[in-house]
Amino acid sequence: MSVLDLARPDLLALSGYSSARLEAGRDGILLNANESPWPLDHAAPLNRYPDPQPARLRARLAELYGVDAPRLLIGRGSDEMIDLLVRAFCRAGRDAIVVQPPAFGMYAVCAAVQGAAVRSVPLVRERGFAPDFDAVLAAVDAAVKLVFVCAPNNPTGGTPSRADVLALADALRGRALVVVDEAYVEFADAPSLAPEAGSRDNLVVLRTLSKAHALAGARIGCLIAAAEIVELLRKIMPPYPLPTPCVEAAEAALCAKALARTGDHIAATKLERERLRVALTTIRGVREVFSSQANFLTVRFDDAGARYRQLLARGIVVRDVRRYPGLEDALRITVGSPEQNAALLAELAQRLEITA
Ligand code: PMP
């Protein structure tokens, strides 16, 4: 039994596009890719196609995440990894994914684009939006190929126990992949499951440089999975997905000096998260502030719509999450800099005076 037995059979037979850079690397007199021989002299040389999976960045990310490089695939954000997984594992009109709402919206969007069904197993509101993995297991039939677990979860901020996620993966071995989206894991107390993706072939972990590493504009994210899954996804990716300036930005963000700064920023965000959480609970009209393992706080208000508009009128933009099940009175607030958070609190307190 191979984990690829879960993939679309038609893709297994496909030989992916063989790009010039893949066939011959980038040393020598390069006359094989119909590129211009003349780099623009006002910019870093961009006349050559980039490596499909730049080896230096891949090695660096593998080291950072504690995994072997062949198990790691770099793409344009974890968004692209979600899309690739759904396209590779779900046959249109036949297969399905499991999501646990309130959940990150892209899982269901990618499934809809692919023509895959979406089975919803809601987080349990009465237990602080904890997952119900027994219900997830019960929802997995032969059609389900992917189970998405967001840890920490966007938009509720909680995170499942590592032991429970590993037990879920073990229980689904040979039946479905468990895809653990760790976009916010740097802000959590518990460490990443990425190293575990090496020992379980149906456990896939998604990481990103968009959040803690302050690189959302470069669009660099990773999938960590069994090497054969990485190879399968490479076949359906475009030939040169990673723009050279973005690869360079990612390398710069991973040098020792930048990583030290990132560590400071993560610590500052966690401190601000706690300070903001406590301060928000004292604001009139705040019903509940969810505890969070991520870089945002989800907050229930007496009148979330009015609060949203009030903040917007002052140029403070938070996320309206009232469309999510169970969050009909909530807004999601990213933890900003101390100055930004102070501005937010000042505006919310202002409202208190007006309505008092
Ligand atoms: N997963 C989750 C849970 C997210 O919140 C986001 C960003 N909103 C992403 C994935 C996508 O991140 P990116 O594509 O920037 O890596």
What pLDDT does residue 39 have?
87
Tens-place pLDDT, residues 18-40 = 899 888 888 899 988 989 988 88
Q: Is the CB of 216 under 6 A from ligand 1?
A: yes
How much distance in Å is there from the Cα of 349 to the middle of ligand 1?
Answer: 31
Q: Is the CB of 77 under 6 A from ligand 1?
A: yes
The full set of domains in the chain, from first to last, is: 3-254 (3.40.640.10), 263-348 (3.90.1150.10)
Q: Which of 81, 110, 156, 181 to mutate to test the pocket of ligand 1 (most atoms within 8 A of CB)?
A: 181
How much distance in Å is there from the Cα of 144 to the middle of ligand 1?
Answer: 23
What pLDDT does residue 42 have?
66
CA 274, CA 282: separation in Å to the nearest integer?
Answer: 13
Q: What is the position in ligand 1's atom list of the atom closest to the CA of 219?
A: 15
For residue 203, how far is the Cα from the chain centroid? 15
CA 269, CA 212: separation in Å to the nearest integer?
Answer: 9
How much distance in Å is there from the Cα of 84 to the middle of ligand 1?
Answer: 14
How much distance in Å is there from the Cα of 79 to the middle of ligand 1?
Answer: 6
Q: Are strands 330-334 and 319-320 parallel, antiparallel or unpaired?
A: antiparallel
Q: What is the position in ligand 1's atom list of the atom closest to the CA of 81?
A: 14
What pLDDT does residue 8 have?
95
Q: CB under 8 Å to 94, separation ≥6 — which residues? A: 143
Half-sphere exposure (Cβ direction) of 214: Cα atoms closer than 13 Å: 15
What pLDDT does residue 356 have?
40
Q: Which of 210, 211, 220, 334 to mutate to test the pocket of ligand 1 (most atoms within 8 A of CB)?
A: 210
With a cut of 50, which residues of the chain have pLDDT below it?
A: 352-353, 355-356
What pLDDT does residue 16 have?
85
* Side-by-side strand order, sheet with 117-120: 72-75, 221-224, 203-208, 177-181, 144-150, 96-99, 117-120
pTM of the predicted structure, to 2 decimals:
0.95
- Residues 147/133, Cβ–Cβ less than 8 Å: no
Q: What is the position in ligand 1's atom list of the atom closest to the CA of 184?
A: 3
Q: Which of 84, 100, 104 to mutate to test the pocket of ligand 1 (most atoms within 8 A of CB)?
A: 104
Q: Is the CB of 181 under 6 A from ligand 1?
A: yes
Task: Answer positive or negative: Cα dihedral of 69, 204, 158, 114.
Answer: positive
Q: What is the position in ligand 1's atom list of the atom closest to the CA of 220?
A: 16
What pLDDT does residue 353 have?
46
Q: Is the CB of 104 under 6 A from ligand 1?
A: yes
Q: Is the CB of 156 under 6 A from ligand 1?
A: no
Q: Is the CB of 295 under 6 A from ligand 1?
A: no
How much distance in Å is there from the Cα of 29 to the middle of ligand 1?
Answer: 40
Q: Is the CB of 154 under 6 A from ligand 1?
A: yes
CA 75, CA 20: separation in Å to the nearest integer?
Answer: 19
